[in-house]
Amino acid sequence: MSLSPLGTALITGASSGIGAIYADRLAARGHDLILVARNRGKLAGLAAQIADRTGRSVEVVAADLGDKADLRAVERMLATDASITTLVNNAGVGATAPLLSADVDAMERMIDLDVTALMRLTYAAAPAFMARGHGTIVNIASIVAIGPEILNGVYGGAKAFVLALTQSLHHELASKGLRVQAVLPGATATDFWGVAGTPVEHLPGEIVMPAEAMVDAALAGLDIGELVTIPALPDAAQWQAYEAARQAMLPNLSRSEPAARYRAVPAA
């Protein structure tokens, strides 16, 4: 196997579901791969299949990104392996129980993986990519980033962080060769739902997208240069209007005086 001219894509949560499909699609596009997940056996099986089918080099890294030592090892790989050109931050867990019914320790573990691990891997990759003058970071968020009422509030808050981080990275670093994308899937047919507490079979079929279709749409969004890709949204103008309204507010969010509606009414 020869080294890919496209470089290596490191994909977290790669042993199944969305991560495994990203692995298949990126290898088919010509990337070598580093697949990161906890289950070495599943990773090895997937790696063998992809390598046989595409001829690409596929390395597996068994790591629990909720474990500090494992996380630091993946950070070092991103910071020092000059072949890595793409990071897909896909590893994550969710929750469907209402906030007051959710176990707080489970919520903390979710933040550790969905927020802290993603942030640290991004901080490892971004300087390395900038030093080489190019690189791509894909952050898998969720529609709950803009619709926190839909599912558990901590999960919504975690994915809002992912969206905000991606937008900030684009603002700071796009001119320095870093390409970033936030992907906001809706309900997707993976085992995510069962782990989160609501099997996907319990959801209305009309809102559930096949995982292959979701990843293909996300990659199409990346190809056309989208910063934010919402695979199910029929009318891109709705997102553009949402973003335009947000940008229009920015100059008015910090001023020297309170808005008139908040000023004290003189006593009679």
pTM of the model: 0.93
The confidence score (pLDDT) of residue 207 equals: 77
The confidence score (pLDDT) of residue 265 equals: 73
The confidence score (pLDDT) of residue 193 equals: 61
Cα separations (Å) of 255 from 18, 80, 258, 262?
Answer: 43, 44, 7, 13
The confidence score (pLDDT) of residue 192 equals: 67
- Identify the segments of the chain with pLDDT beneath 50: none
**CB burial readout 142-160, b (16+ within 10 A) else e:** bbbbbebeebbbbbbbbbb
Q: Which residue has the tokens 């196997």?
A: 1
Cα separations (Å) of 132 from 81, 197, 235?
Answer: 11, 42, 36
The confidence score (pLDDT) of residue 156 equals: 94
Which residues are identified as catalytic? 155
Measured in residues, the chain has a length of 268
